[in-house]
Structure 1
Amino acid sequence: MTVLDTRALNRATLARQLLLEPSGMTPLDAVAHLCGLQAQEPQEPFVGLWTRLRGFTPAALSDLLTGRQVVRTHLMRRTVHLVTAADALAWRARHTPMLRQRVLAVYRRELAGIDLDELETAGRKIMADGEARTMAELTAALAGRWPDTPPRALGETLISMIPNVQLPPRGLWRAKAGVRHLPLAHWLRRDPAPPSPDGTDPTGQDLARRYLAAFGPAATADLRAWCGLAGLPAAVAALRPELVAFRDERGRELLDLPDAPRPDPATPAPVRFLPAFDNAVLGYDDRTRIIDTAHRGLSITGARFVLVDGRVTATWTRTDATVTVTPLRPLTPAERSDIADHGQALASFLSDGDTTRVHVAPTPP
């Protein structure tokens, strides 16, 4: 079986993630191809698409949100993702058991003695009028029935059990808006697809196939780490006849779509600025294809990364209209120059062309 080394996996990831060269995809097609973008920080998906797409403008994504073509909802790993409306409708039921289990893991003590089916029924009655509500408004409506339960436990559990979206202006370009929840079916005027009644798992197969298109080659542990779903072995087994297999340097089996891009490891990789919590980093159990183990912890802190030669090499922040880059390793003069050039483009994007100020900090000792 062919062994793919770390650099080969890196270049495959960059190609699948639209990070090897700017893509001409539309923003809607890019969100679909990437299986969504992690979006608990509302402005981060704009950078995620800017760094991937040729000629991306923020208004294009804002229009997709207000036009109900993409939505913000809890999905993979019980995190807020920006996904297409079609994927939200198709995938939500497959994620519901995981969402329920994860919220119970957090609030098991607070929810002791509460009939969760009763809680869901009460919540659906409250939300049946189609009015958007804040978390505080939802929990206030439930408090009379469960006065001794912490409101946050009630609210988080409710939106995990009932498919909801976070409505605009939350998530629009430069908007500073709180979260207002509305059932997915109300916002999209369609009910989410129900689970398969015959015990098969076509949605799981779609998730696995789509994941490999955007993240492969990958191990089943990587797939599980990305989506948070434990019950996909049957779906993967059903897909095996249409997949190809490799091994990584650790000996793990990696699966892939046969015609998906696997570029020559020598392919040059340009500097790229990633937003916080980008799935190009978070979408794997073994993230060494893109980030050194020593820096893995940064990926869950909200750090924004700079890729140099395809690997996480620096972090970046923006304060006082200046993009500041902090290296994680010594940089060559050519690397510092490339980072500065791309940082200027990012500063211009974030300021609507008002500034191109960028500062690359000294190399750490």
Structure 2
Amino acid sequence: MTITARALNRATLARQLLLGRERLDAVEAVRRVVALQAQQPASPYLALWNRLSDFDPADLDAAQADFRTVRTTLMRITLHTVHREDYRAFREAMEPTLRASRLGDSRFTASGLDADDARAVLPDLLDFADRPRTNAEFGGWLENRLGGPLDPAAWRMLRQYAPLWHVPTGGPWAFDTRPPYVAAGTRPAPAGPEVASEGLKTLVRRYLEGFGPASVADMARFALVGRARVRAAVQALTDELEQLAGPDGTVLYDTPGAPRPAESTPAPPRLMAMWDSTLLAHDDRSRVVPPPYRKLVTRVNGDVLPTLLVDGYVAGVWRAVDGGIEATAFHPLPGHVWKGLATEAGSLTAFLADRDPGVYRRYDHWWAKHLPAAETRLLP
């Protein structure tokens, strides 16, 4: 069976709850979409606002406060919010990547420590983190354990490797830039090839449920895991997965029975969060981001701007300004699309009013750096 590019777009949008807002609680929604990119604390909230009917941000506050959803370093070595029950397998899948990238980083090895030292100290560090601990508290503990202070950069690498969860601190979006940390309540099994392999099989299944159909290259890019490891996991799941041919003949995999709407299915306009996972989940990002726009929305340092989604594809960017939402379209949009975006902007403005009307303001400098505009409007 061959699937078209537009049908791939619709399949992913359906699984990401972007073809129509659904009535789900925040915890179940996080499970359904698999992983919400979370290095900017507001983004998981805006991601769920885009996907759920009558989303109350207090629901996500509560889920994060009691760790039904958890914020931690996972796929692509960056922060994600995931369902608590997904955490262990995801962390086990990511173990080789996290170990190589964090414990092999020169910022860690410059401290004189190596991966063996980290593994030796980790059990006691996690025992110390049986309740929320600040960076200062970890620093004092490590100084006593190591006989001298650990450089902040080395601690950052160790912290991102260790199975630690971020602890909410309050504020408009639950987390600030220096949250406390606590040992993961569902600890990954001790590192080893078999554990990592089983975890990766689970991650592949879950990824396909949320972002499929997809290729080996897509899965590897989503997680930042070597293609050989992904290929082995897919081969082990051969009896569980369907195969399709992509638009260019690439072999794609999928879970049986997963949604694949007709390519003619309407896709409503959306104002997507910064770093929304849908924009970053595939090696071939043209599934959602037209190639001419990729470097416009993904800046040179990796910042992924908040985007306009029109007919299922990125068509521009938006930012919060005094008076509403400034929407910049990269190509001309018809009147009915602007009307739909205005409706979304009115809803978003109301959503932000009690929390953070100037969300993402610190990224406004990108608007002065070559963002071609067919038209810019203040909405609603």
The answer to whether structure 1 residue 221 and structure 2 residue 217 are counterparts is: yes
Q: Residue 338 of structure 1 aligns with which residue? A: 340
- Residues 353 and 117 (structure 1), Cα distance of their counterparts in 2 relative to 1, 3 Å cut: closer
**Alignment pair present for 1:211 and 2:207:** yes
Deviations 1:115-154 (A, max 9, x none): 33223433543452334333354345445748697421x2
Taking every aligned residue pair, what percent have the same amino acid on both sides?
Answer: 34
Matched with 1:358 is none
The equivalent position to 1:245 in structure 2, one of 239, 243, 246, is 243
Query: Displacement of 1:208 after TM fit?
Result: 1.0
User: Partner letter of residue 167 of structure 2?
Assistant: L
Q: How far does residue 351 in structure 1 lie from its aligned partner after superposition? A: 1.1
Deviation per CA, 1:206-233: give whole Å up to 9, x if none: 2111111111111011011111222222
- The answer to whether the aligner puts 1:318 opposite 2:320 as a matched pair is yes
Measure, in 2, the Cα distance between the counterparts of 1:353 and 1:148: 38
Q: Tell me: CA distance 1:39–1:268, structure 2 relative to 1, closer, same or farther (3 Å).
A: same
After superposition, what is the alpha-carbon deviation per residue over 1:175-213, rounded to whole angstroms, capped at 9, x for unaligned?
6463212211xxx2x433446786783322221111111
| Separation of aligned partners in 2, 1:272 and 1:118 | 47
Partners of 2:193 and 2:104 lie apart in 1 by 27
Letter in 2 for 1:202: E
Residue pair 2:307, 2:315 contacting (<8 A) in 1 also = yes
Does the residue aligned with 2:45 lie in a helix, a strand or coil? helix
Q: Which amino acid aligns with 1:293?
A: P
1:65-76 pair list within 5 angstroms = 65-76=64-75
Task: State the alpha-carbon separation in 1 of the partners of residues 283 and 135 from structure 2.
Answer: 32
Post-superposition shift, 1:274?
A: 1.1
- Correspondence for 1:115: 114
Structure 1 residue 290: Cα displacement: 0.6
Is 1:39–1:80's contact at 8 Å kept on the other side of the alignment?
yes
Cα deviation 1:313-354 (Å, max 9, x = unaligned):
111111336221111211122221211111111111111499
Q: Is the 8 A contact 1:120 1:158 kept in 2?
A: no
Alpha-carbon spacing, 1:121–1:255, altered in 2? closer, same or farther (3 Å): same
Distance 1:303 1:176 in 2: 20
Comparing 48-57 with 202-211, which one deviates more in the overlay?
202-211
The equivalent of 1:289 in structure 2 is 287
Matched with 2:5 is 6
TM-score, normalization by structure 2: 0.84
Query: Is 1:181 paired with 2:190?
Result: no
Q: What secondary structure is seen at the aligned counterpart in 2 of 1:306?
A: strand
Segments of structure 1 that go 5 or more residues without pairing to the other structure are 356-360
| 1:262 equivalent among 260, 263, 271 | 260
Moved more, 96-105 or 213-222: 96-105
What SS is found at the alignment partner of 1:4?
coil
SS of equivalent residue, structure 1 residue 232: helix
Q: 1-side partners of 2:143 and 2:247: how far apart? A: 54
The amino acid of 2:87's aligned partner reads: A
* CA displacement 1:12-46 (0-9 Å, x = unmatched): 11111110011222211111121121101111101
Please list the CA deviations of residues 53-94 of structure 1 after superposition, one character each: whole Å capped at 9, or x if unmatched.
111100111111112211111111111111111111332222
Residues 36 and 110 of structure 1: CA distance in aligned 2, closer, same or farther (over 3 Å): same
CA RMSD in angstroms, aligned pairs only:
2.8
Report the Cα distance in structure 2 between the residues aligned to 1:44 and 1:99, rounded to whole angstroms.
23
CA contact (8 A) 2:47 2:276 kept: yes
Could you tell me the TM-score, scaled by structure 1's length?
Answer: 0.87
In the superposition, relative to structure 1, how do residues 91 and 293 fare at CA in structure 2: closer, same or farther (>3 Å)? Answer: same
| Structure 2 CA distance for aligned equivalents of residues 161 and 287 of structure 1 | 28
The worse-fitting range, judged by mean Cα deviation, of 315-324 and 215-224 is 315-324
Amino acid at match of 1:305: T
How many corresponding residue pairs?
Answer: 354
Distance 2:167 2:280 in 1: 25
Q: Which residue pairs with 1:151 in the alignment? A: 152
1:171, distance to aligned residue in structure 2 (A): 7.9
| 1:160 match | 160
* 2:222 and 2:282 in contact (8 A); partners too: yes
Q: Does 1:201 align with 2:201?
A: no
SS at match of 1:251: coil
Contact residue 100 and residue 157 of structure 1 kept, 8 A:
no
Q: Which residue of 1 aligns with 2:277?
A: 279
User: 8 Å contact 2:74–2:91 — kept in the other structure?
Assistant: yes
Change (3 A) 1:324 1:174: farther
Change (3 A) 1:87 1:233: same
CA distance in 1, matches of 2:195, 2:178: 39
Question: Using the alignment, how far apart are the partners of 2:121 and 2:285 within structure 1?
Answer: 42
Change (3 A) 1:171 1:49: farther
2:374 matched to which residue of 1? 363
- 2:18–2:50 Cα contact (<8 Å) kept: yes
